[in-house]
C-alpha cells in the first residue's frame, strides 16, 4: 500500500497541500479531481518522489519513500503515468517499454525485450505486436504503452 500521512507543501506564500492523507492499495484505481491549483500535481510529484514535502510522510508498505529521488521511488515499484506522452514515436512498442531500462551489455537483448514486452501487452489486453512503431498506434493504444512502461512488481 502506498500512503501519505499529513503531507503539506508550500511554494512561496502559496499553500499547495495542507495535511493531506491518501492511501492506495494494490489493484485500486483512484482519480484526483479538482480545480487548477488544487494541489493534484503536487501530490502526485510527492508520491512519486520527485518533490520533497515540507511535512508529512510517504510510505510504501512499511518502507519510507525517499522524496527527491524519483528513480529510487520507481525502483520500489511506484510509477506515475502522466497524460502527456513520453513515448518516442519512431521506436517500437518494445523499445519504448524498455527505454532507459534496456537489457544487454554490449548489444541489446532484443529477443528477450520483445518477449517481455509481448507478455506485458497481453496482460494489458493489447493484441498488437511489440515491434510495431508507436507512431502507428491510436492515442488510446499509446496510453496503454505508457502504462506498460511502468515497472511490474516482482512480488508474488
pLDDT tens across 34-62, in order?
898 899 999 999 998 889 999 999 998 88
Give pTM, 2 decimals: 0.70
Same structural domain, 41 and 14: yes
Per the structure, the count of domains in the chain is 2
Domain span at residue 112 reads: 93-148
For Cα atoms 120, 141, 75, give the angle at the middle one, nearest 5 degrees. Answer: 45
Same structural domain, 68 and 123: no
Q: Kindly report the length of the chain.
A: 156
Same structural domain, 10 and 70: yes
Same structural domain, 9 and 58: yes
Q: Is the pLDDT of residue 150 over 90?
A: no
- Only one residue has cell 492515442, namely 139
Residue 85 in domain: no
- Only one residue has cell 512519486, namely 48
For Cα atoms 61, 147, 95, give the angle at the middle one, nearest 5 degrees. Answer: 120
Same structural domain, 50 and 97: no
- Only one residue has cell 497481453, namely 122
Amino acid at each position: 500500500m502506498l500512503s501519505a500521512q499529513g503531507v503539506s507543501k508550500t511554494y512561496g506564500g502559496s499553500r499547495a497541500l495542507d495535511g493531506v492523507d491518501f492511501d492506495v492499495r494494490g489493484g485500486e484505481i483512484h482519480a484526483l479531481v479538482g480545480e487548477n491549483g488544487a494541489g493534484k500535481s503536487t501530490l502526485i510529484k510527492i508520491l512519486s518522489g520527485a518533490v520533497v514535502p515540507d511535512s508529512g510522510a510517504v510510505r510504501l508498505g512499511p518502507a519510507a519513500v525517499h522524496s527527491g529521488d524519483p528513480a529510487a521511488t520507481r525502483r520500489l515499484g511506484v510509477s506515475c503515468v502522466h497524460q502527456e506522452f513520453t513515448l518516442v514515436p519512431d521506436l517500437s512498442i518494445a523499445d519504448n517499454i524498455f527505454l532507459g531500462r534496456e537489457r544487454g551489455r554490449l548489444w541489446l537483448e532484443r529477443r528477450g525485450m520483445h518477449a517481455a514486452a509481448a507478455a506485458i501487452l497481453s496482460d494489458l489486453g493489447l493484441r498488437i505486436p511489440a515491434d510495431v512503431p508507436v507512431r502507428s498506434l491510436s492515442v488510446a493504444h499509446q496510453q496503454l504503452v505508457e502504462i506498460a512502461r511502468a515497472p511490474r512488481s516482482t512480488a508474488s
